Copies of this chain bind each other. A is one copy, B any other.
């Protein structure tokens, strides 16, 4: 609400106001909260979904992998700007290349115990990037690399939505020592530091949902692409094969999804078949009608 740091002149009000007022000025009430941004940056490499991770240099979770992120620079940048800055720093992308990356806010995570050192509220962002060179090669990004999502969540976790009924903090047994993993957690060996595997799970579910009703699947591809390449994006993100013929017709039938470049693929590494026509992203921001994920029957309740 950004209020109730009201001027002292408002002291004549009701008791609640006074209490709020005092709370507001008690340094312990808000000073100890740090604000960071974390980025779930997704890309496709060799037909597999990858996420950008960094290796932690110090405790807690020293040596483990985590999502890239960092502190918001107070008074100097917005949340969106902070996320874009972090992403650029870790990938080594310049502004031009960053312009082709889709970046959107994913959600905020602020349980009091998610970081053992202090109360840290993190604003998570989700990025869709086209194929990029190794982040490690980049100047700044020392420990950053693209990690296959399957290495973190062994058999995808395509079906069940991450399900965040109420509080998302509270991962039992994950705090304090920095080593205690949840017992019986399948991905234990590869899980990310802090609550970052939950953030990643939320990001993956968002990505799966988002390409249903937006043309953002094209953000994983280059300037021009074939329908088959676009289909590969959907198959990889959804983790399910799609019918090539029906997909082809469907994509071309949605207004503004793609538009023809008039050219054909020069087929680098093709295994036969006619040359595919090339398309670029259209001007639609929503797909209408949407592309529906196959068989979501189990997800309904």
Contact = CB atoms under 8 A, between A and B. Distances in A.
Contacts of A4: 70-71
A218 to B, nearest CB: 14
Interface stretch (A5-13, A219-227, A263-271): A5-13
Given A10-B58, A81-B167, A119-B74, A297 B301 contact: no
Contacts of A57: 6, 10, 13, 17
A293 to B, nearest CB: 11
A285 B301 contact: yes
Contact of A105 (B2, B79, B107): B107
A87 to B, nearest CB: 12
Interface of A: 1-7, 9-10, 13-14, 16-17, 20, 23-24, 28-38, 54, 56-59, 61-62, 66-81, 86, 89, 103, 105, 107-112, 114-115, 117-123, 140-142, 166-170, 193-194, 196, 255-256, 283-288, 296-297, 299-301
Contacts of A194: 1-3
B301 A283 contact: yes
Given A78-B167, A80-B168, A288-B296, 19 more contacts: A1-B36, A1-B70, A2-B36, A3-B69, A3-B194, A13-B142, A16-B89, A24-B71, A30-B34, A33-B33, A35-B121, A78-B111, A81-B167, A108-B123, A255-B300, A283-B301, A284-B300, A286-B299, A286-B301
Contacts of A9: 58-59
A81 to B, nearest CB: 7
A284 to B, nearest CB: 5
Number of copies: 2
A72 B286 contact: no
A61 B7 CA distance: 11
A78 B169 contact: yes
Contacts of A120: 2
14 contacts: A1-B122, A2-B36, A2-B120, A3-B193, A5-B118, A20-B70, A30-B71, A31-B31, A35-B121, A72-B110, A75-B118, A80-B166, A108-B108, A284-B300
A107 B61 CA distance: 28
Interface centre among A62, A114, A141 (most CB of B within 10 A): A62
A32 B31 CA distance: 7
Contacts of A285: 300-301
A19 to B, nearest CB: 9
A14 B33 CA distance: 27
A272 B18 CA distance: 52
A28 B121 contact: no
A130 B77 CA distance: 39
Contacts of A16: 89, 140-142
A74 B110 CA distance: 10
